[in-house]
Amino acid sequence: MKRVFSGIQPSGEIHIGNYLGAIRNWIKLGEKLGRDAIFCIVDYHAITVPYDPEALAKRTFEAALVNIAAGLDPEKVTLFVQSHVPEHTELAWVFTTQTPVGDLTRMTQYKDKAARQVSVGAGLLMYPVLQAADILIYKADTVPVGEDQLQHIELTREIARRFNGRFKEIFPEPQAFVDPNAPRIPGIDGKAKMSKSVGNTIGLLEDPKQIWEKIRTIPDDPARIRLSDPGEPERSTVFTFLKYVAPPGMVQALAEEYRQAGVGTLVIKRILFQEIMKILEPIQARAAELRRDPDYVWDVLMEGAKRVRPIAQATMEEVRQAIGLLRPR
Ligand code: TYM
C-alpha cells in the first residue's frame, strides 16, 4: 500500500455509518501512510442530485470540519476539497469518452438514485466516472470505503485497465479496502443501510436528546410481547446496532441475559445510547473547538489542495499526451 484515496460527499450530515464504515479506517490508514493518505470532500459529486446552491459551500466546509473532529488528523493526512483541484473533472471527461454507457446504467447506486428523481441529470450517470478520476489522478492503490462503493471501485479498475490497454500504462488498478467488521452499518430503523437519503441516520453532531429519542423509539424485538418473554437478540434491531458500537464481551453478556428475559429492551436501549455517546462526545467536543477556530480548517483545506494539485497536474499532463492532444507551445 503506497497511496490511499477516499472521498465523502458534503450532501448532508455525516453519520455514524460513515464513521464506522469509512472514516475510522481512514484514520488508521493515515497513521500508517501520512501525507499519502488523501481524503477529499467531493463537492462535484454532491451536485449530481438536486441541491441547494446556498448551502453547498457551508456543507463542504462543515464536512471537512466534522472529519477532523472525528479524528482525521490533518497534521498527518491530506484533506482537501475536490473542486479546488479542477484536474479531477478534466480527467473525468477523458474517462467519460472511454466508458460504455452500458457500464454506467448497470450501477446499482445509479439505478437507486435515478428511481428517486423526476428528471435524471447526465451527471448522475457519470458519477462513477468522476469517482474513478478522483482515485486514478493520484494513482492511488487502495481505496477505503463501505461495501456500498465496491461496484464503483470495480468500475474504476475497468476504466484504468481500458485506458492502459488503449493508450499507455499510466494507472494502477486500485483495490477497495472494506472493514470486515463494519462493511454496511444498518439504519437506526433496522431495515436499510444507514444513509442520508433514507433518513435513518444518527449524525455525528446530532443533539444527544434527539439521538435518545431515535433510539427509544426503535421498534422492539417482535419475539418479546411481555417483559417476561425471552428475547431473541438476533431479531432485535437494538442488538444488531449494539454489536457495532459496544465491546463484544459486553454484547455477549447482555444477549445472554436478554435471552433469559433478565433484562428489558429499554435497558438495552439505554446502554446502546451510552455506547454511542461514548463515541460521539469527544467528536462533538472537538467540533465545537474547531468552530471557534475556522481558520484552522481553512488552512488545512488550502494546504491540502496545494499539496495534491501538482500530482494531479502531472498525471493529467501524462494523459493529455497519451491520448494525442495538441499541446500548447
Ligand atoms: P458517501 O459520501 O456516500 O459515503 C462516504 C463513505 O462512507 C461509507 N458509508 C458507509 N459505510 C458503512 N455503512 C454505511 N451505512 C455507510 N454509509 C456510507 C461509504 O461507503 C463511503 O466510503 N461515492 C462516494 C464518494 C466518493 C469516493 C470517491 C469514495 C467520490 N469519489 C473516490 C472513494 C473514492 C460516496 O458517495 O460516499
Asked if residue 165 belongs to a domain, the reply is yes
In a domain? residue 23: yes
pTM here is 0.96
Query: Whole-angstrom Cα distance, residue 172 to residue 257?
Result: 51
pLDDT band at 199 (very low <50, low <70, confident <90, very high): confident
The reply, when asked if residue 196 is annotated as ligand binding, is: yes
Residue 225 belongs to domain with CATH number:
1.10.240.10
Q: Is 113 a catalytic residue?
A: yes
Is residue 99 a part of any domain in this protein? Answer: yes
Question: Is there a domain that residue 155 lies in?
Answer: yes
Q: What percent of the chain has pLDDT over 70?
A: 100
pLDDT of 16 over the 90 cut:
yes
Residues 159, 96 share a domain:
yes
State if residue 134 touches ligand 1 by the CB under 6 angstroms criterion.
yes
User: By alpha-carbon position, which residue is closest to atom 22 of ligand 1?
Assistant: 145
Is the same domain home to 19 and 67? yes
CA trace torsion 240, 246, 247, 248 (10° rounding): -10
Q: Which of 28, 76, 196, 243 is catalytic?
A: 196
Which whole number is the average pLDDT over 115-141? 97
End-to-end CA distance of the chain: 37
Mean per-residue pLDDT, 7-28: 96
pLDDT value at residue 182: 93
Q: Pick from 169, 214, 170, 156: which is nearest to 190 by CA?
A: 214
Could you tell me if 169 and 215 lie in one domain?
Answer: no
Distance CA 138, CA 161 (A): 16
Q: What's the CA gap between 303 and 46, in Å, rounded?
A: 22
Ligand 1 near 137 CB (within 6 A): no
Q: Which CATH number fits the domain that encloses residue 109?
A: 3.40.50.620
Q: What is the pLDDT of residue 252?
A: 95
The average confidence (pLDDT) of the chain is 95
Place of cell 494525442: 324
Is the ipTM beyond the 0.95 threshold? yes
* Per-residue pLDDT, 10: 97
Q: What angle do CA 223, 245, 148 make, to 5 degrees?
A: 90
Note the pLDDT of residue 272.
97
Q: Is the CB of 21 under 6 A from ligand 1?
A: yes
**Environment class of 108 (CB within 10 Å of its CB; exposed 0-12, middle 13-18, buried 19+):** exposed
pLDDT of residue 230: 85
8 lines ligand 1 (CB under 6 A): yes
What domain count does the chain have?
2
Taking the C-alpha atoms of residue 220 and residue 189, their distance in angstroms, rounded to an integer, is 11
**128: Cβ below 6 Å to ligand 1?**
no
Written in H, E and C, the secondary structure of 18-77 is HHHHHHHHHHHHHHHHHHHEEEEECHHHHCCCCCCHHHHHHHHHHHHHHHHHCCCCCCCC
Given this model, what pLDDT does residue 263 score? 87
How remote is the CA of residue 84 from the centroid of ligand 1, in Å? 20
Measured from the Cβ of residue 246, the count of other Cβ atoms closer than 10 Å reads: 19
Interval between CA 131 and ligand 1 midpoint (Å): 11
Angle (CA) 112-109-143 rounded to 5° is 160
Confidence (pLDDT) at 192: 83
142 with 274, same domain: the answer is no
pLDDT above 90: percentage of residues in the chain? 87
Q: Ligand 1: which atom is nearest the Cα of residue 45? A: 30
Across 270-299, average pLDDT: 98
- For the cut 90, the answer to whether the pLDDT of residue 24 exceeds it is yes
Give the start-end residues of each E strand in the chain: 4-8, 37-41, 78-81, 142-144, 175-177
pLDDT in tens, 52-81: 999 999 999 999 999 999 999 999 999 999
The reply to whether 45 and 128 lie within a common domain is yes
Edge to edge, the sheet with strand 175-177 lists 78-81, 37-41, 4-8, 142-144, 175-177
Shared-domain flag, residues 58 and 159? yes
Do 17 and 101 lie in a common domain? yes
Q: How far is the CA of 261 from the centre of ligand 1 (A)?
A: 39
Q: Is the pLDDT of residue 50 over 90?
A: yes
Question: What residues make up the domain containing 54?
Answer: 4-186+294-322
pLDDT at 190 over 80: no
119 φ/ψ angles, rounded to the nearest 5 degrees: -120, 120
